[in-house]
Amino acid sequence: MITQKRAEGKEERKKRPRTAFTASQVKALESEFERNKYLSVAKRSQLARSLKLTETQHDYVIARRRECKS
């Protein structure tokens, strides 16, 4: 999504604000990650809904945890 042009003529993209996860969301995600690092599609969808997250947000958090743990 292009929002403005710089003086040099280069285009600048507008950054999306970072998602701030609540402490309870982080705790639930961490707990689930400790039990099972790879979730089924159904379980991932159910967990995201129960935490009021999009599946993309859930996937991002879990992927980052896998990176940090390896």
Q: Model pTM?
A: 0.60
| Spans of the chain, pLDDT less than 70 | 1-11, 69-70
Is 65:59 a contact under the CB 8 Å cutoff? no
The pLDDT assigned to 34 comes to 87
| Phi/psi at 12 (5° precision) | -120, 135
pLDDT at residue 46 in the model: 92
pLDDT of res. 24: 93
pLDDT for position 50: 93
* Amino acid 9: pLDDT: 58
User: Can you give the pLDDT at residue 18?
Assistant: 75
CB 56, CB 64: distance < 8 Å: no
Q: Where are the domains of the chain?
A: 34-70
